[in-house]
Amino acid sequence: MSSFGSRALAVACWLCGLAILVLGAWLVCYAPNCAANATDAKIIEWFSRQHNAAADQLFRAVTWLGSVVVLMPLVIASGVALALHRRIREAYFLAVALAGTIVIMHTSKLLVARPRPNDIDALIAMPWDQSFPSAHTAQIVSVMLAGLMIIYRLNPIWFNSLWPVALITVVLVALSRIYLQVHYLSDVLVGATVGVLWVCGLALLVLHQTKERQKE
């Protein structure tokens, strides 16, 4: 693919992500005061009936994997390791993947201002910010996907072993946000989708063009 083609495809990814954010915001805020729609309400109520001590502890622990408190040190440490091995482009890609996701998610939260679920008591302290979209989900998706892309470039054998672990981690974090009663399903789905599109677009600009230059 040419340099122009990769740029165009990257922009297309980001425009799709923006469209999903706008459409999602319109759908969730179609109800008065951005309250839960029927599907969101039913799903979060169903999860509330599945609570038990073991699952409560599991999801309370797992949900931290999507937090910047965990992901930021992980990305910094990985970036330093990559830089020491002269993989500056990959280190930059990983850092921007997380930083960009944080900015996109929290800007969207401020603009949409959807209240958190409040019909059922949450199993953790209710986060201070708004509900839509799920930043934890988007952040774990972005870091896991960016990490897998880097690993595939460096060692495809490791990629084959690690992608199932990354996928399970993403699914567990996403489920934890609903199980713990701090997000609706729509928050999680939009967060995950936008995270994927953001990283794919970024990869086309940062990683793919580097590969093209190496061929030249």
Q: What's the CA gap between 139 and 167, in Å, rounded?
A: 13
Tally of domains within the chain: 1
- The residue ranking higher by pLDDT, 79 or 209, is 79
Please tell me the pTM assigned to this model: 0.91
Range of the domain at 22: 3-215
Q: pLDDT value at position 146?
A: 97
Alpha helices in 49-113 (DSSP H): 53-62, 68-84, 88-112
CATH number of the domain to which 70 belongs: 1.20.144
User: pLDDT confidence of 212, banded at 50, 70, 90?
Assistant: very low
Element (H, E) at 5: helix 3-28
Q: pLDDT value at position 210?
A: 56
Average pLDDT of the residues in 13-40: 81
User: What is the 8-class DSSP label of residue 49?
Assistant: T
Sign of the four-CA dihedral 7, 147, 135, 25: positive
